[in-house]
Chains A and B, each alone.
Chain A
Amino acid sequence: MMTFDQNAFLIISTASMIAISCGLLGVFMMLRKMSMTGDAISHAVLPGIVIGYFISGSQRGVEVIIGAGLLGILATLIIDFLRKKAKVQLDASIGITFTLLFAIGIILINLLAYKVDLDQECVLYGEIAYLPIDLWITNSGFSMGPRITWLALLNLLLVGSFIFLLFKELKLTSFDEGFGMVMGIPAGAINLALMSMVSYTTVSSFDAVGAILVVALLVVPPATAFLWTKDIKSLIKLTIGIGIGISVLGYYLAFWADSSIAGMMVTVGGAVFLISAVLTSKKFKFRLGTQSNQEAFNS
């Protein structure tokens, strides 16, 4: 009994768009060994959201996205400063930076509580199931459809063109930053641009999947795809495929179990990763036993 369910279609396509945007950026974050910087950014943007909200008076103002973007860049700069100038280890500098900024965000929420109708909960956990009732109504009263779907589409278009236009530079600076800098490629600016896109994507996806689950979408699909392929273009394609796959499966499993869609998506993602890890390690042993160029697999 298959009928077209408009709500299901909207939720799945929105979730897929968010998963693709996160996956595209996540591939390069992973290749730069910066996956946890994505985690840091997703939490560090909280003060920016609160300040943006305070200025615009609305949770949906463009000021919120700008505030979050600036805080994301600030977090990246602080992490970089701690690591390079203060010689703090990368994991420690990430831990210090994002907890500090997140804490400042919580204090700001409390201080501005009378002005800002915002709590930690709605930032940490989003709920995509409410998407069909959160509509974008134009001034003339015409409904354009779900607001979050439009946000996700805009986000996907911007992330997609960013990756498409700067593919060569992102690839080079992820592999060998020093070489890129010697050739005059602005590696620092490209890195900051990538971090800004991550901040923007995080904020844009808050309503739908929340800050914690957005991290999972940044990390898990690229890490899973990397188990299967060692070619950057297939890596990107497979990441997109996994993103769509876990959106579809996540939705129907959540529907069946009557549970959180975003939570189920990430659970499915985790399961796919584990299965992939087991399967590829079997493949590894199998190939090691049958191929002649064994030394290639020793490293």
Chain B
Amino acid sequence: MIKQVENPLLEIHDLTVSYDQSPVLWNIDFSLPEGKLIGILGPNGAGKSTLIKAIMGLVEPTGGYVKIFNKDLDQVRNRISYVPQRESVDWNFPASVLDVVMMGTYGRLGLFKRPGKKEKDLAFSSLEKVGMTAFAKRQISELSGGQQQRVFIARALAQEADLYLMDEPFAGVDMATETAIFQLLQEMTKEGKTVIVVHHDIHSAMTYFEWIIMLNLHLVASGPKSDVVNEDLLRKTYGGKLNLLTKVTEIIRQQEFNPLKN
């Protein structure tokens, strides 16, 4: 079930990516609408992060192409923002929270220019949105996992982009932070921004995402939540591993009891 859209914000055509001859993404072909909160779901090793990296030009595809705002990536870099996985950097780096968030403004500044008051104000307003203003001067080595994640999101906000790509922003984040971040993402989509999130928890994915992409080396589904979320497609995505999961969600649904949220 792959739903293509008119005037797509992001169009991926026949994308294939391989590492060392072995393909990790096969013939991915989909298009995405503007202003939606979009989730990429799939089991471990399904190629979710690779898909994000291919969109951002961080891995070279062996075939196919990506168009963003109907243009090549290089023409629209200023309109795109990226939240990498938290573990991809060394948090012992000598920088404060404010330093890291300011980095989001570097793309628009260009080479040699230094950030000034305007960039600082932008960084502070981004920190405020994620509730981290009080931590501006804190060294990043002294943050908890959830705080690190919020700093990365603030840095992405400081890019003032139209399209946000986030790689597992909820990994190792507690429930309260997850809910707060999801609310922020929903507000952003209301302002017309598009947010694409790699996510692993099916349950919260059902609650928050409007559009869902299911991936397992091949593209299994891409479409509005109501169209693509059914047992058949979930099973195709997760394979046998879903059996246990569907049982658990069934029980939760029947009893209207959620030990995770209460």
Binding site for B on A (CB under 8 A): 31, 33, 165-169, 171-172, 174-176, 178-185, 226, 229-232, 235, 293, 295-296, 299
Contacts and interface: CB of A to CB of B under 8 A. Distances in A.
B74 interface: yes
A253 B111 CA distance: 44
Interface in B174-206: none
10 contacts: A174-B93, A175-B90, A178-B53, A178-B84, A184-B78, A185-B107, A230-B94, A230-B141, A232-B94, A299-B141
Contact of A182 (B56, B91, B93): B56
B57 interface: yes
B112 interface: yes
A224 to B, nearest CB: 14
B71 interface: no
A168 B141 contact: no
A182 B103 contact: no
A182 B82 contact: yes
B159 interface: yes
Contacts of B103: 171-172, 175-176, 179
Given A165-B112, A166-B112, A235 B94 contact: yes
Given A230-B141, A232-B95, A299-B141, A182 B88 contact: no
Given A31-B94, A179-B155, 13 more contacts: A31-B93, A166-B112, A168-B115, A169-B111, A175-B100, A179-B82, A182-B58, A182-B80, A183-B77, A184-B107, A232-B99, A293-B142, A296-B142
A173 to B, nearest CB: 10
Contacts of A178: 53, 56, 58, 82, 84, 88
Contacts of A176: 84, 88-89, 103
Interface string B73-107: 01001101010100011111111100110010011
Contacts of B106: 168-169, 172, 180, 183, 185
A166 B94 CA distance: 17
B114 interface: yes
Interface residues of B, number: 36
Contacts, number: 80
Contacts of A235: 94
Q: Which 8 interchain pairs have the tightest Cβ spacing? A: A183-B107, A296-B142, A184-B77, A182-B82, A232-B94, A230-B94, A230-B139, A182-B56
B165 to A, nearest CB: 9
Nearest to A33: B90
Contacts of B246: none
Contacts of B252: none
- Most chain A beta carbons < 10 A, residue from B58, B88, B111: B111
B164 to A, nearest CB: 11
Contacts of A229: 94
B4 interface: no
Nearest to A296: B142
Contacts of B93: 31, 174-175
B144 interface: yes
A178 B165 CA distance: 13
Nearest to A27: B94
B109 interface: yes
Nearest to B74: A184
Contacts of A175: 89-90, 93, 95, 100, 103
A194 B100 CA distance: 22
Interface string B228-247: 00000000000000000000
A33 B92 CA distance: 12
- Most chain B beta carbons < 10 A, residue from A179, A182, A235, A299: A179
Contacts of B88: 176, 178
B81 to A, nearest CB: 8
A248 B21 CA distance: 57
A243 to B, nearest CB: 18
